[in-house]
Amino acid sequence: MTVSPEVRTRALRLALENAVAHSGAARVDPIVGRLLATDPSLRPHAAEVRGVVSAVVAEVVALPASELIDRLSSIGGPEATRAREAPSTGGDFPDLVGAVPGKVVLRLAPFPSGALHIGHGRMLFINQHYREKYDGKILLVFDDTIGSEEKRVETEFFGLIEKDLEAAGVRPDAVFYKSDRIANFYPWARRVIDKGGAYVCTCPAELLRENRARGAACAHRSQTRDETIEEWERMLANAYGPGEAVLRLRTDLADPDPAFRDRVLLRISDIDHPRVGTKYRVWPMLEFSWAVDDIELGITHVLRGKDLVIEDRMQRYIWDLLGITGPPFLHWGILRVREAKVAKSKAYREVKSGLFDGWADPRTWSLLSLDRRGISMDAIRSFILSFGMSLSDIEVPAETLYAENRKRIDGTTVRRAFVADPVRVEVDEFPDGLSSVVLSNHPDRPELGTRTVSTGPGFFLARKDLEGRAGTEVRLKDLVNVELPALLPPAGGTIRARFTSRENKRIPRLQWVGASGARPVDILGMEGEHTAGLGEATLAEAHPGDILQFERVGFVRVEKNWTPGASPLRVVFGHP
């Protein structure tokens, strides 16, 4: 694809708009995200779009700040309203082969080792999409077979995952646990053995891997059916310890994929399972368990990521061996959110160590954490479904998700003033009778009303806004113009500025908070950092769970466990 001139023009407009809002510092990711969010046809070509946007941003940041507004006006002004109101277009979802309305049965198969995160979104919402399309059913089947020492099943995650599904509006028609079905897998293993399709191997794990890589057969591969049955019965009778014997599937040792050569079907483990304890010692590998369960549970279609194609091969191989016709498979490609450092095992370690603030810590990118930040499940669903069932691996900036959420909350979210790292400013000659001002709660939604906030002569301004502006005239946003002193005092001092006029001049606009009644605020950021500052007095009326927009900062959500009236007000940063 070659990016059209129209897209480049939009990129330029958005870059100029972004630069005006951020004192000339246009940013690439929000612009790419806006383009992809409002034109889904661009999403498979995200890399090319990013290249165009990067070139445009380089052009814009080179412009003098004084020219930004005029240049933006010359190409039609901001398009913020257009981007906010643009409809979300769903992606391409092919029909399910052989699907009969009312008869489709799908399944979700999470491993209970942590909360579901943004990467599980495709599993949830694509299955739910097809369930709705065909008036079908979804089964929740916990893949709680024995994992490893690093990836262990824990009781708390069963309930946590069910709550994630409930929050996402995905209500399963039935819930199953693999750990309740272990005995069901043994007769199937025997059927495979009876067909001459498996053998018991007692090679050390390292030798097994070496033979597989070389395509070499071990001594056990020549077992007769009766010998394998005898060894299999010994496995079930606890004659072997963990790692001493496995049941392996006979496949082609010359298969181009070494991983598919004589894969393990069942193994021995003494790990204490949280649901069934040590009742079972012979546990199925996941692909074998699904070869069984997709038949026994009546699954009609399997929808999953293309990274699981080897599981497809295993299931089909076993079904073909046993003369069974199994359900068809439909796949999607990998979808990555650039800023989301999703690693379930790492998140598990950090949550357990206490480094992360539970599974709702913003760094986990769990569904819990997104809700904590005020990102709705509806926005996540639209974001996920906009990519359809594309097999292409796609990487997009988080702004694409944020744009979806912004469409839903921008028009109903009130604005409030906040300044980080506040510096006290006393304004000499401040006008009498201007101790308060009435401000709108939303610049474009008069129906959201107004609020009255205290003004000067005492204010708090953000330290970073004052840096480099000594001796200059600035505008306190929506209020008055003041002249800053030629020398700014060191940290901790009070600045004395001078009132100049109320004229709405084209000079830098600074966010302010009136000193009277200013409220301490703590913002939890996306990397777990805390930002302290002060907010306007009306924040005394905030309630747990409220979503607010801190002007020139972004959307935040009041912590649900915050006690009203407590200081500081605790909020979590959602997105710009």
User: In the chain, what are the domains?
Assistant: 5-85 (no CATH), 90-328 (3.40.50.620), 416-576 (2.40.240.10)
Whether 389 and 92 have beta carbons less than 8 Å apart is answered as yes
Q: Higher confidence at residue 30 or residue 398?
A: 398
Residue 393 clears pLDDT 90, i.e. is over it: no
For the chain, how far is it from start to end, CA to CA, in angstroms?
30
pLDDT, position 87: 35
Tell me: pLDDT of 154 over 90.
no
Say if residue 574's pLDDT is above 60: yes
Q: Per-residue pLDDT averaged across 448-477, rounded?
A: 94
For residues 144-162, average pLDDT: 82
Predicted local distance difference test score (pLDDT) of residue 90:
58
Band of pLDDT at residue 67, cut at 50, 70 and 90 = confident
The Cα–Cα gap between 384 and 124 comes to: 9
- Other CB atoms within a 10 A radius of the CB of residue 332 amount to 23
How much is the pTM? 0.81
Are 465 and 420 in contact by the 8 Å Cβ rule? The answer is no
Cβ(396)–Cβ(340) under 8 Å?
Answer: no
Residues 6+ apart with CB under 8 A from 443: 415
Average pLDDT over residues 434-462: 94
The mean pLDDT value for 152-172 works out to 92
Chain centre to alpha carbon of residue 519: 31
Quote the CA–CA distance of 389 and 531 in Å, as a whole number. Answer: 40
pLDDT band at 22 (very low <50, low <70, confident <90, very high): low
Question: What CA–CA distance (Å, rounded) separates 161 from 163?
Answer: 5
pLDDT at position 83 is 31
pLDDT digits (tens, 9 = 90+) for 315-360: 999 999 999 999 999 999 888 899 888 777 788 889 888 899 899 9
Whether residue 568 is preceded by a cis peptide bond, meaning omega within 30 degrees of 0, is: yes
Question: Could you give the CA distance from residue 69 to residue 83 in angstroms, rounded to a whole number?
Answer: 19
Name the CA dihedral angle for 384, 380, 108, 89, rounded to a multiple of 10 degrees.
-40
Contact 365, 338 (CB under 8 A): no
**Backbone dihedral region of 101: left (phi > 0), alpha (psi from -120 to 50 degrees) or beta?**
beta
Q: In what order do the strands lie in the sheet with 569-575?
A: 415-416, 547-550, 554-558, 569-575, 519-524, 530-535, 418-420
Mean pLDDT (the chain) is: 90
- Average of per-residue pLDDT across 61-84: 63
d(CA 274, CA 276): 6
Mean per-residue pLDDT for 112-121? 91
CB-CB contact of 228 with 191 (8 Å): no
pLDDT over 70 at 69, yes or no: no
| Sheet strands (E) in 480-546 | 480-483, 495-501, 509-510, 512-514, 519-524, 530-535
pLDDT of 65: 67
pLDDT of residue 148: 56
Do the beta carbons of residue 391 and residue 331 sit within 8 Å?
yes
**pLDDT for residue 404:** 95
Question: How sure is the predictor about 81, in pLDDT bands with cuts at 50, 70 and 90?
Answer: very low
Residue matched to tokens 């913020």: 80
CB 27 within 8 A of CB 11: no
Average confidence (pLDDT) over 10-27: 76
